[in-house]
Chains A and B, each alone.
Chain A
Amino acid sequence: MSIFQLFAALFALFMVYWVRTSHKRRQLSLLEASFWYSVWSVFILLSVFPNLLLGVAQTLHFARVFDLLVVLAFTVLTIQNFYLYLKNKKLEQKLETLARKMAMKQQL
């Protein structure tokens, strides 16, 4: 196991701990916590046993498993970024509608 794999596994363990405390504080529902536990568990598994993805990497013509993981990570980040952009836009519209309604209601 390389030092990088060790760091990756420790990072994932820290994230599992963060999910646990968030769940205990009721910031995450059981379903949300379960989802994130699964994500970080898979992350730990792949950190320790990266060769589990070797078949997938070879099929997709990636030279290394690491390259596959980097591409996957960028894809996830792009999707997440777009999702957050849409959510933020929706929130801004709701805030504007609410603030304008409040201003008019106050005046009437």
Chain B
Amino acid sequence: MNQAPKVYVVVTAFNEAKYLATFLRKLGRQELSFLVIDDGSTDQTASIARRYTKHVLSHPVNLGKGATMKTGAEFAFKHLGADAVIFMDGDDQHSPTDLKHFFAKLHPASQQAQLVLGVRSFDAMPKTRVFGNQLASALVKLLFGRYIPDIPSGFKALNRIAYQKLKWQSSDYGVELEIACKVAKLGLAFQTVAVQTLYHDLDRGMNLLDSFKIVYKILLWRINL
């Protein structure tokens, strides 16, 4: 008898005490399995997370987004028997109600790499982030021949096969760029879903200087891959 595929939501968090409880409450209402990876937070992130799930992993020091996602994915696939994971940021920027759209497109137990990318609308996005976002997509298209929308979005799902193919090296925010470059380079099929975004703290996230970093990192990946 085939077992229902297991999908875990991997919540990445670094010093998210302000919004984490709100987010996890909303996530809890979706009645899904989830784990929280605390990336060496110095606030109450880990203790808040433990009120909502028993699966809370804490890095002893801050390593970065990429390392946090790797910890979550590896723990879910190796120790929880997950067939797929859906990454979400713990800063309440993503709406858990959008998860149903991921499930509609994801085939977790497929023998092919399954990737579903959450794509945000640019309407409410700050202009500097729109610029960085479009720059990243344009460069990937130019250097890898494939258009991938909303590369910086942390809301994405992948199954075990996709994770094995994409196993990223980046430990920081460059992970999203690396994943996009690898998806383009390896010709992995992906689907997109429209997701909502709430911008709580506009001073976080990409700024204009990050555009230079984007160009530099994509060029590096073009050489390395």
- A interface, CB within 8 angstroms of B: 92, 95-96, 99-100, 102-104, 106-108
Contact = CB atoms under 8 A, between A and B. Distances in A.
B59 A99 contact: yes
Interface of B is mostly: mixed
Given A95-B61, A96-B63, A108-B79, A103 B71 contact: yes
A54 to B, nearest CB: 44
Contacts of B171: 92, 96
A97 to B, nearest CB: 9
Contacts of A108: 79
Contact of B57 (A92, A95, A96, A103): A103
Given A100-B71, A103-B37, A104-B75, 5 more contacts: A99-B61, A102-B60, A103-B71, A107-B75, A108-B79
Interface residues of B, number: 17
Interface in B68-110: 70-71, 74-75, 79
B99 to A, nearest CB: 23
A100 B75 CA distance: 10
A98 B79 CA distance: 18
